[in-house]
Amino acid sequence: MNDAQLLRYSRHLLLEDIDVEGQEKLLNAHALVIGAGGLGSAAAPYLAAAGVGHITLVDHDEVELTNLQRQIMHTESTIGESKVASGKQFLQQLNSSIQIEIIQSKATEALLDELLPSVDIVLDCTDNFSTRQLINASCVKHQIPLVSGSALRFDGQVSVFDSRNATSPCYACIFSPDEEFEEVSCASMGIFSPLVGIIGAIQAAQALQVLIAFGEPLIGRMLLWNARTTQIDQIRIARNHDCLVCGKSR
C-alpha cells in the first residue's frame, strides 16, 4: 500500500483481524454486486469505502422517483439514468482509487458464466426468487462464495453460502428451485426505508469477512431482522445432500 492508502484505511489497519494483510486482500479483491436497488445501494458503497479494489455492478433497471425512498446510491438528478451508471458515479465519488465496472443487463446464466471465473465473491442484492436461484446455481458451479440478502415490508434476512466449504448449504438447500413461490415486490407490498440499508450493510460486512477470512460469517446460519420489533433472530441451516443444485456437486 502507498502512503495515501495507509492513511485512508488507517482505521482498518488498527484492527488486529484486518491489519495491513487483510486490507491488501481487499484491495486485490473483485466483488460482483448483482442488483443496484435498495440492498445494492447499501452494500456497494461500503465495499467501495472499505477498499475492495474492483467492483462489478450489474442491473438492468433505470432510476425512478419511487426508488429514492430507499435506494441511496441514486438521487433526483439521476432519475431516468441506468441504475448502474448512477451507482458508478456515486461509488467513484466515494473512492476514486478503485475500479468500478458496470453492466446494464439482467443476470443471465451466460453472463454469470462469463463473470464469475474472475470474481472473488458475489453479493445477491436482487428482489426475485428466480434470479436468486440462477445466481446460486452459478456460484455453486464456479465455487464462488455468495452473500444473499432479501428485504420486504419490515422483514429482512441474510446468509452466506460458500460452496468451497463441504458443510455449507446453498440457497437451494433451503428454498428448492422446484417449489412454487408467489413473487411479491416492494411495489405491491411496500418496504420500510432503512431496512434495505441495514440488510445491505450486513451483506457488505459478511463479504468483507469472507474476503479477509476473519470471524464467523453466516455460513450455515441465516440472520433474520424484524424492523417492526427490532428483533434479531438466527436459524441454523444445514446442507441438504439431496439438494437439486449442490447435492451432486460436492
Q: Does 244 fall in a domain?
A: no
Mean pLDDT computed over every residue of the chain: 95
Q: Does 131 fall in a domain?
A: yes
Q: Does 124 fall in a domain?
A: yes
Burial class of residue 125 in the structure, from the number of CB atoms within 10 Å of its CB (0-12 exposed, 13-18 middle, 19+ buried) = buried
DSSP 47-60: HHHHT-SEEEEE--
Distance CA 110, CA 103 (A): 13
Give yes or no for a contact between 143 and 163, defined as CB atoms under 8 angstroms apart: yes
Taking only the tens place, the pLDDT of each residue in 23-48 is: 999 999 999 999 999 999 999 999 99
Taking only the tens place, the pLDDT of each residue in 95-134 is: 999 999 999 999 999 999 999 999 999 999 999 999 999 9
- Total domain count for the chain? 1
For CA atoms 197, 198, 201, 203, give the dihedral sign.
negative
Please compute the mean of the pLDDT values over residues 71-83 and round it to a whole number: 97
CATH code, domain with 150:
3.40.50.720
Q: Does 248 fall in a domain?
A: no
What is the grid cell recorded at 233? 433472530
Q: Does 241 fall in a domain?
A: no
Q: Does 247 fall in a domain?
A: no
The pTM score is 0.95
Residue 21 has pLDDT above 80, yes or no: yes
Give yes or no for a contact between 68 and 76, defined as CB atoms under 8 angstroms apart: yes
Residue 187 has pLDDT above 90, yes or no: no
Residue 123 has a CB neighbour count (10 Å cut-off) of 27
Q: Does 242 fall in a domain?
A: no
H/E stretch holding 4: helix 3-8
Q: Does 249 fall in a domain?
A: no
Taking only the tens place, the pLDDT of each residue in 131-162 is: 999 999 999 999 999 999 999 999 999 999 99
Q: Which amino acid is at 200?
A: G
Question: Which range of residues forms the domain containing residue 33?
Answer: 3-236
